[in-house]
Amino acid sequence: MNSKWQQLARFVWALVRDVVFAGFGLWEIYRQTTHPGRYALELIGVAVALTVPSAAEHLKAILPTSAGESAVESSSRQSESHGSRPSSTSQGAHGDPPGE
What are the tens digits of pLDDT across the range 53-88? 888 888 888 887 776 665 656 666 655 555 545 554
Confidence band, pLDDT 50/70/90 cuts, at residue 38: confident
Q: How far is CA 56 from the centre of its chain?
A: 8
pLDDT at 100 over 50: no
CA-angle at 32, arms to 30 and 35, nearest 5°: 105
CB atoms within 10 A of CB 97: 9
- Mean confidence (pLDDT) of the chain: 77
Say whether pTM exceeds 0.85.
no
